[in-house]
Structure 1
C-alpha cells in the first residue's frame, strides 16, 4: 500500500489557517529542504481545491522562470495531482485530475494503486477527514514559534481524539520544530 504523508505549517497555538500571514519570517533553507524533500519523494500529490488553486497559480510560473525554485516547481508539475472538491472543477495545471465520489473511499483506492508515496501540503479539511479515517501514515507539522491567537486550528474542539506517535522531531535554527507523527497503533 502506498504511503500518504501530509504536511502543514502550524502555529504554536494550533492555528493552521492563512500561514501566508505569519509563516514567512521563519522560512529558511532548513525548512525549504524539509518541505522540498517530502514533496519531491511523492509521485502523486493530493490537494484540496483551495490549495490546488494557490499552487496552480504560483508553481507553473516558477517552473517557467527556472532559478532557485525551478527544480521543485518542475517536480510538482510532473507529479500526478489529485484534487479534492465537491464541485466540478476545470483543472488547468498539467497532470491534474479530480477525485470523484467519497473522499475516504477515493483515497483508500488511491493508496492501493501502484506507485510511490502520496504527498499532501495544506488542505486542512482534507487532512482532518483523512486523519479521522486513519489514512494518513505520516503527519509532518512545522510548528512555528508564534501564537496567532485566531483562526482555524488543525484539531477542532469536540471531535474524537486521534492518538499519534512521535516518529521524529528536529529543531531548526529559526525556532521552528519539524515534527513527524504517525498513527499510535502502528
Structure 2
C-alpha cells in the first residue's frame, strides 16, 4: 500500500484554526510550545503503550490504504521532532539559514516506518520531544525573532516555527485517534 505524498503548504495554520484537528496555532504563545509538546508526547506515550500491550500488529494496521498506521505516524512525529530540533538550532546558531530539504514521505519509505520496533519508537518519540521542548524553552527575548527559510520559500521566525511545528504532532494524534484538540 502506498500513500499519496502530501504536497500541501500547511503554513496557513499560523493564521486560522485547523478544520480537522481544531488546533489554533494563531492563538498560541511561542513560550507555551514546550508544555504543549510535552503534553502531546505523553498522549503518544499512552497511545503507543496501549498498542504495544494489545499487540504491536494493531499499531501497524492502516485504517485505509491511503492513511498511515499509528506506528507510521509515531515514527513521523519522532522524526519531525528531530528535524525541527535541527532547524531551530540552525536559526539560533546562524543568521538567516536555509534548512536542508526533508521529504517526509521518502523518509517513511526509506526508514520502513511500519517495520520499526514500537517500543524503540515510543522511547525515541518521547526523548526527541523532550529535547525539542528544552530547545524551545531555552529561547528568550529577541531570539524568538531570528529567521530561517524552507527550501520551498516559506520564511519563519523561531516564534512562527514553534507555532507552526506544534500543529504537526497534535494534528497527527488526531489522525490516529480522531480526538480533536481541546486546549
Q: TM-score of the superposition, structure 1-length normalised?
A: 0.26
Q: Which has the higher strand share?
A: 1
Q: TM-score of the superposition, structure 2-length normalised?
A: 0.27
